[in-house]
Every structure is written in structure tokens, then in C-alpha cells.
Amino acid sequence: MLKNSKLSKILLLTIILISFLTPRIFADDTNEVLDDNSTINKQIVETIETSSNDVSLPDINSRAAVVIDRSTNRILYGKKENEKCKMASTTKIMTSLVIIENCNLDETIEVSKKAAGTGGSRLGLKTNDKITIRDLLYGLMLCSGNDTAVALAEHLGGNIEGFAEIMNNRAKELGFENTHFVTPHGLDADEHYTTAYELAKLANTALNNETFIKIVGTKNYTVTINGQPKNITNTNELLGNLAGVYGVKTGFTNGANRCLVTSCKRNNLDIICVVLGADTKKFRTKDSIKLIEYTFKTFTPVDIQRLVDEKFEEWKKENLDCFEIIKGQNQNVELKINPLEFETIPINNNCIKDIKIVIDCKQILEAPIWENTCLGKIEVYAGNELITSCDILLNCNIQKKNITNYFVEIIKGLKTSFASF
């Protein structure tokens, strides 16, 4: 009996030891106590005050980070933004996007044993639970449910592998070269990775979808499981606490560390901030705030199209009479420019006064020349950086002289000669 007692104690101690030594893997922060608003606001105020007079590049803890302008995908800040990284539950941005694009969100599905048994952060689904796809999406993006991720993956892809194929095909459609998905939830896997920049562009694509933007901008929501209500809260600590923030997604695994994708809009500047690999949740929050505040302090959207149009009109007034059309039936040149890809571009405040527009156009031409022939280029520089360009095009047809034209010119020449006697 004593022997059995000793064995029981040894077994119990072994189990306890294993539980402490085994790494804890979560797909997000929902297994932790959520910070209350006062704690978050205090951290936000402290971070903003610390960096309020500092216009230099922020010093951040995160392994990789990027800030992009939503209208142009232009990088406003980058730190190892093209380096492959694990991304934890920010994976669920793609999961959500492909589900929204391919499913009837009002359809009710039944939860499988596999989905119900998925660990990490959870909505709390059980085998055979019935829930709509829409509510699964809220559980996916607000409380980062791994169980909801698997349920959704099985519904659309048949299984996790089939769903990963759908995710990867969508990534290819978006032109991503350094992103690959293995799971719908983001638990660590060797071949599951992205970059800060491609993740930001993914979020930008998803945010063009009204359903997605509504979900990720929701602070609290009530899902219905088997007809019973359940309240859930968004894990995004900046949503509702930092001015202008309206999404997107948190993430955490042992391999990825702390991750956060944030969308924020103030006045005419709309940005996405991504931090990957922060050591702690506090660093993740501080890094995101630093980068967001730096961006709005440092960049101003400039109407580049207007500047180019004004400069081009001035240039035409000074130069249209200087064109020579060899063998042309006339010397009247009409020009136009292609619209810029983006009318407004955020420019570093230190470079706005140094915006330079360079016009290079051929002025000696040989007929025939047809409408839309490219004659030159306009390039726009902010400091030494080329920020955009467009082509200068002929806006008319200029025919080559024929025998009749030459005959008419000879007659005119003779008339002029006789008139001079």
C-alpha cells in the first residue's frame, strides 16, 4: 500500500513537472486576462508623451514591422519588412477573407469533433454545436478562436489541407511571393510564414470588404451557439482606445511572439501598421503606438496630380511653339498625360518643400505620328526619391506630307516670290 502511495506521488510530481516544462502554445491573447481600458489608456498616453517631441525613426522592440499607406501600399516605415516571419493568429485575416468571399454567411453549420478539440484560444465550441458562419467569423476575429478557424476550414476546404490550398491560391492571386499557409489559425508550423509587408497588403485587401471591416471594427459582440447567446470581446487592445484605430487583428505563439496588425485613419491619411515578433504584449502595444504616432506626425498626403497638371500646363505654354515636325502636314502639336496611378501620395514633411517635377519630352519629330504616341515622361521626386511618373502622349494625328502638300507649298512659295518684285 505504501509502495502504491509512493508511486502515486511520483506520478503526480512527474505530471506537474511536465506541465511546467511543456511550452504553452496559444494562438492569441484570449487565454490571458484582458487589460482594462484604464490600463491601456495609461500606456497609450505614456507612449505618446514620451515620443511627442521626437521626430526621428522610432526605436522598437519588434523583430519586423511596417507601416503602409492604404491608398498606395507605399511603405512609410519599414524594419525587416520583407523578411519571412511566423505570424500567429494574424493568419486569420486570410482565413476570414476567403470565407467571406466564398461562403453564405447566414448558413448554419455543425461543429466537428476535430474543430471542437482544437486547443489554444477558443470560442468554446463543442462537438455537434450549431452556429452560423457569420458568428464563427466574429469568434475567429474577436476572440481569435482556433476552434472556429478549423470549423470554417472544414466547411470550405473539406479539411485543413484543402483550406490551406485555397489560402495559398488567394495569396498567389494577390502577387505574394513570401507568404505560405499551412493552417487556418496560425499555430506554429515550419512552412507557415509571411512578411510584414505582405501581411499589411493582405490586411489592406481584406479591409476593402465591407463585411470584414465591420467584423474587425467590433469591440463586443454576441454570438449564438445552439440558440444560446454568448458575449465575446475583441482582443485588439488599441481598438476603441487609440484615436482613429478601426481594426485589425492580434496574434501570439511561442514561435511568432507578439504580433499586431492595426488599421488607423486620421483626416486624409489611412494606414496599416504591422508589428511581428515583439517580446511582450506591452512591447507590441508600445511599438504599434510609436509607429502610428510617428507616421501621422511625419507624413502629409499631397495632391501630386494637381501639382503635375499645373506644371505641365506651364511647360506647354513655354514649349509648344518649339516643336518641329519633319515632313508633317502641319506643325500643330497637342499633348496630354496619362493620369498618375495615385493622385494623392503621403510625403515626409521634410521633403514636401523639395518636391521636384521633371519634364522630358522630344520636340523634334518626324511624321507620320499617331495619337497616343509616347513622346516623353514626367517624373516626380521628393528629395532624391522618385515617387511617381507618367507618360506624355500625343493627343492628335499628324499626317506625313504627300505630293499635293508639296505642290501647294511650291505654289505658295512662287506667289510670295512674285509678290516681292
Tell the burial category of 22 from Cβ atoms under 10 Å away from its Cβ (0-12, 13-18, 19+). Answer: exposed
Q: Which residues does residue 182 pair with via DSSP β-bridges, in sequence order?
A: none
Report the distance separating Cα 30 and Cα 144, nearest Å.
7
Catalytic residue among 51, 62, 89, 96: 89
**Whether 144 is catalytic:** yes
**Cell numbers for 309:** 497638371
Catalytic residue among 62, 144, 263, 288: 144
CA distances from 151 to 112, 117, 130, 139, 251 (A): 7, 11, 11, 11, 19
Report the distance separating Cα 85 and Cα 103, nearest Å.
29
Report the distance separating Cα 287 and Cα 92, nearest Å.
21
Report the distance separating Cα 218 and Cα 234, nearest Å.
7
Catalytic residue among 79, 86, 92, 201: 92
**Whether 92 is catalytic:** yes
Report the distance separating Cα 283 and Cα 303, nearest Å.
35
Report the distance separating Cα 275 and Cα 214, nearest Å.
22
What are the residue numbers of the active site? 89, 92, 144
